[in-house]
Every structure is written in structure tokens, then in C-alpha cells.
Amino acid sequence: MPAELAEAIDKAAADDGATFSAWLADTAAHRLRLEGGRRGLAAWEKEHGPLTAEELAEGLARARAALGRTKARSSRRSA
């Protein structure tokens, strides 16, 4: 693991009050849930066709409500 990445993880873990390994485990679990959701959506769309713009907007609104967010946040992508 590159030293700069390890240092960034150390800082993020400390900011969250977690250990290095706990932060990595939580991040990995989050990534696996996202990937599972993407696979599930792809399977659904394969059977039923692409989601409409209205369905996508409704899903986004539900997700924001579930997370307690009302406004869009800047998007971030992980490598």
C-alpha cells in the first residue's frame, strides 16, 4: 500500500474515532453493498428494461429522505 494512502486512511480513521483496520473493513463493506446494489439494479433492468427518468428521480428522492438529506451533494467517485 502506498505510504500516502496509508497516511490518508490513518487520518480518516482517526477523524472517525476508528482504528485503521476497522475503517478499512467498514469501507470495504460499504463498497460491497454498493456493488451488490449495482448488480441488483442491472439484473432488474435486464428483465424489465431501463428505469425511466421519473423512476430514477423518485429513487433518488427516497434515498435522500432515508439519509436525512434534502439537497443534492457534490458527487465523489472512488478509484
- Over residues 37-51, the pLDDT tens digits come to 999 999 999 999 999
Cβ pair 13, 20 in contact under 8 A: yes
- Look at residue 79 in the predicted model and tell me its pLDDT: 43
- Look at residue 72 in the predicted model and tell me its pLDDT: 61
- Look at residue 73 in the predicted model and tell me its pLDDT: 58
Residue 74 pLDDT more than 70? no
The tens digit of pLDDT for each residue in 18-34 reads 999 999 999 999 999 99
